[in-house]
Amino acid sequence: MHKALAFFMGNIYKKIWNLVMAIQRGNETKKTVADAPELNREEIVWLMNVIKDGTFRGSEVQTVYETVVKLQLMLNRKG
């Protein structure tokens, strides 16, 4: 009984530890993304052309649309 309980608690500990580590990695990623340089006008136009010429599955269409809208807003800010 004690071995089974120890095994069960060990699995819970691992899951919690992995969750904490994932959150910590997420926070590090946010810092890295926030510190990343911005795209210049040529890079934005290039990305929009790559998207325009691409083929996407139905499940990707919403993400692609939202990305293009963000890129267009970035491009408009660049002037």
pLDDT tens for residues 58-77? 989 999 999 999 999 999 98
Band of residue 11 on the pLDDT scale cut at 50, 70, 90: low
Q: Domain limits at 24?
A: 1-36
Three-state DSSP state, 37: coil
Three-state DSSP state, 79: coil
Domain check: are 51 and 76 in the same one?
yes
Domain check: are 28 and 50 in the same one?
no
Domain check: are 47 and 11 in the same one?
no
Domain count, the chain: 2
- 18-70 residue pLDDT tens: 666 666 676 665 555 566 678 889 999 999 999 999 998 898 999 999 999 99
End-to-end Cα distance, the chain? 69
